[in-house]
Amino acid sequence: MTPAFSSWQEFFAMGRYGFYVWLAVTCTLIPLCALLLHTLLQRRRLLAEIRQRQARELRIRAAKVKKTAQAAGELP
């Protein structure tokens, strides 16, 4: 079996089609990387929002318990 390219220069030139090949590779990888980054940032934002909502619900429940206890005369 023989290698398709005898040097790195030939590999990057791709038989004089290197510009189009590497342009296509670049035009594919940039949107994929952008999509990956967007997904990771969106996931982080969503998890932060969920934590905020859970903390808010916990504060609301604690306030209701405190209000109920005050109404029953258990707390000053």
pLDDT (tens, 9 = 90+) of the chain, 76 residues, equals: 678 888 899 988 988 899 999 999 999 999 999 999 999 999 999 999 999 999 999 999 999 999 988 888 765 5
With respect to residue 1, please indicate whether it lies within any of the assigned structural domains.
Answer: no
With respect to residue 20, please indicate whether it lies within any of the assigned structural domains.
Answer: yes
Q: Which domain holds residue 45?
A: 6-71
With respect to residue 62, please indicate whether it lies within any of the assigned structural domains.
Answer: yes
With respect to residue 45, please indicate whether it lies within any of the assigned structural domains.
Answer: yes
Which residues fall within 8 angstroms of residue 69, CB to CB, at 6 or more apart? 75
State the total domains in the chain. Answer: 1
Rounded to whole angstroms, the Cα distance separating 21 from 17 reads 6
Q: What is the pTM of this model?
A: 0.67
- Helix, strand, coil percentages (3-state) for the chain, rounded to 5, are 80, 0, 20
